[in-house]
Structure 1
Amino acid sequence: MIHSEPALDAATADLLPHVVRLGPNLWGASFKLMKMVPAHHIVDTALKTGEIGPDTVIVESTSGTYGLALAVKTALIGRRLVLVTDPAMDDRLCRRVADLGATVEMCRTPSALGEYQTVRLTRLAAVRERYPDSFWPRQYDNPLNPASYSIVADHLNRQLGRLDALIGPVGSGGSMCGTAAGLRRYSPGLRAVGVDTPGSVLFGQPDQVRELRGLGNSVLPGILDHTAFDEVHWCPAGNAYRHTRRLHRTSGLFHGPTSGAALAVARWWADRNPEARTLVMLPDQGDRYLDTVYDDSWLDAHPARRADGEPHQVTLPTGESSWTWMRWNRRRLTDVVDRPGPRP
């Protein structure tokens, strides 16, 4: 049974997702801009503590929607923002954050391993030297990131009541770890299923070039609590793209491939657990992907982008490019692999 939602103030209501039914036992939490949740909470807390003053420059490393969320927030509070990014932040998004007043520092050359995360962090350190009065929200390490999702968990509980499983993508770990912790106050038996992608170090795979962005990582965020997760899936791009388009055609929900990856796993999981009340996190909108995922000619240009298939179970992170999954059983990363990836 879906419960009625009490009235919320406008600022808070805009942070919360719409809850939509996607199947007999599957619901989706559809966000307009999920990263507004931590951006709003972290910046407001820093304003209250005095870490952000009248002349403070806010600086952050991001390649996606967290940068957009910070640009919106800093425009509203009248502060300068410098975003250190890489080519994954496409021209449309760069123009949008610039129109909101942000300065974009673009890192165009990857590291020797082909990734940008460490390159961006080096550039960010240089930017902070340039602006002594600066504030770094530290989305990967700030405990306020997962803590901010407490309001999301409360909202979802009011909407749906008891839940048996939460499924969602993992990038920094903030949304899944924070929402799972909040929901477990109401549903102690809740299972958390993390959705990663091949080539990401988050759950022990070797770092490789990844086509999917918005989930996965080349460094280990300090806020990622591996003991929150019961299962982990490594979903490849083809499955994510297929389910992104399927979601749009069947429900009208216009999301990006991060949401598609989560939905691929959620549909598979919900089908195999028909008695479980399952919720999937859908964090990103589809505007950035009109020329890629929503363009059939782009999909047809590379066979892997049309690939589909079922996952197969593994007992250790393998580094395979196909869809794999394993029972994580709320273990620490060091209990599963000997050599965790680098920290930011």
Structure 2
Amino acid sequence: GNTGIGLALICSVKGYPLEIVMPETMSIERRKIMTAHGAKITLTPGDKGMNGAEDYVKEIVEKNPDKYYYPNQFANENNPLAHYRYTAEEIINDTDGEIDVFVAGLGTSGTLMGVSKRLKEYNPNIKIIAVEPEPKQGIQGLKNLDTSYVPPILDQSRIDEKVYVNLKDAEHASRMLTLAEGLFTGISSGAAMHVAIETAKKMGSGTLVVLLPDGGEKYISHPIYSPDKCLECTKICKIKNLWTDEYIKSI
């Protein structure tokens, strides 16, 4: 995901050899971006998800401890620390501190842990909502804690509410963001946005911040943005779009 792409970029500049391990179900665009930066890609069985990728990495590192450095984003305290120092401060500054609810997806949990810690220090009344996929609903970038390894950096006491989202709703929200708002997002962003919209409906007033971590460029080959599905979204959401309006008339 984003960490792999970031590591590939840094390693290409520094001249470090990089091996990225990911499930074979991850989008082809992720692989192409990383290999473009010189990374070696190793794929693990898709049915084992990120758990299988983690297990494989631990196995090869244990066999060759002098060869590999394993950043382990799921256990690395620098992951939440970056969001504590920078992401959370940006949120506070950009909202003038007027925050009632923060919504973010749960993947490595680095974003949620870092941001929630800082926001709770700033105002303990800010509500933290974690977004998880429904069990056995694969959403790239997110974890369901009932079916996946629990990240060591996760402290569930910092989460006020968990909300589960299905793949269909996540994909629909992604298309809505792209077609109505011009935000070309990925599926994990759609999942967070779906929960944010449903939460905002219940709030009535106040300020809700939702973090969208995933861009749509990594899903070009995915059916999420197929013409038929985008057309369906414009109808459901009543989005005015010249091209789709003309297309509807033609059929």
Q: TM-score, normalised by structure 1?
A: 0.61
* Deviation digits for residues 102-143 of structure 1 (CA, Å, limit 9, x no counterpart): 111111x35xxx323332233213432346232111111112
Q: Percent identical across equivalent pairs?
A: 24
Q: In the alignment, residue 119 of structure 1 is paired with which amino acid?
A: G
Q: Partner residue of 2:142?
A: 215
Pair 1:246-2:171 in alignment: no
Query: Once the 2 structures are TM-superposed, how far is the Cα of residue 290 of structure 1 from its aligned partner?
Result: 2.2
Q: Partner residue of 1:100?
A: 37
Contact 1:164 1:187 in 2 (8 A): no
Q: Partner residue of 2:93?
A: 158
Query: Once the 2 structures are TM-superposed, how far is the Cα of residue 297 of structure 1 from its aligned partner?
Result: 4.6
Alpha-carbon distance in 2 for matches of 1:165, 1:155:
15
Alpha-carbon distance in 2 for matches of 1:236, 1:148:
29
Alpha-carbon distance in 1 for matches of 2:69, 2:205:
47
Q: In the alignment, residue 220 of structure 1 is paired with which amino acid?
A: V
| Other structure's SS at 2:121 match | coil
The match for 1:186 among 117, 122, 129 is: 122
Structure 1 unaligned runs (5+)? Answer: 1-63, 200-207, 309-344
Query: Once the 2 structures are TM-superposed, how far is the Cα of residue 215 of structure 1 from its aligned partner?
Result: 0.8
Alpha-carbon distance in 2 for matches of 1:122, 1:185:
35
- Give the aligned length: 226
The match for 1:132 among 66, 72, 80 is: 66
Contact 1:71 1:101 in 2 (8 A): yes
Alpha-carbon distance in 1 for matches of 2:208, 2:108:
22
Structure 2 unaligned runs (5+)? Answer: 237-251
Distance 1:231 1:72, change over 3 A: same
Q: TM-score, normalised by structure 2?
A: 0.83
For residues 58-137 of structure 1, the aligned pairs below 5 Å read 64-107=1-44, 109-110=45-46, 114-128=47-61, 129-130=63-64, 132-137=66-71
* Deviation digits for residues 289-340 of structure 1 (CA, Å, limit 9, x no counterpart): 223211145789xxxx9xx9xxxxxxxxxxxxxxxxxxxxxxxxxxxxxxxx
Contact 2:99 2:209 in 1 (8 A): yes
Query: Once the 2 structures are TM-superposed, how far is the Cα of residue 82 of structure 1 from its aligned partner?
Result: 0.8
* Deviation digits for residues 61-99 of structure 1 (CA, Å, limit 9, x no counterpart): xxx222112111222332111111121233222122112
Alpha-carbon distance in 2 for matches of 1:169, 1:222:
17
Pair 1:169-2:100 in alignment: no
Q: Over aligned residues, Cα RMSD in angstroms?
A: 2.1
| Other structure's SS at 2:224 match | coil
Distance 1:297 1:87, change over 3 A: farther
Alpha-carbon distance in 2 for matches of 1:196, 1:184:
21
Contact 2:27 2:219 in 1 (8 A): no
Q: Partner residue of 1:232?
A: 162
Q: In the alignment, residue 212 of structure 1 is paired with which amino acid?
A: I
Contact 2:20 2:39 in 1 (8 A): yes
The match for 2:216 among 281, 286, 306 is: 286
RCO (CA 8 Å, sep 6+): is it higher in 1 or 2? 1
| Other structure's SS at 1:80 match | coil
| Other structure's SS at 2:103 match | strand
Pair 1:295-2:226 in alignment: yes
Q: In the alignment, residue 188 of structure 1 is paired with which amino acid?
A: P
Alpha-carbon distance in 2 for matches of 1:131, 1:78:
20
Q: Partner residue of 1:8?
A: none
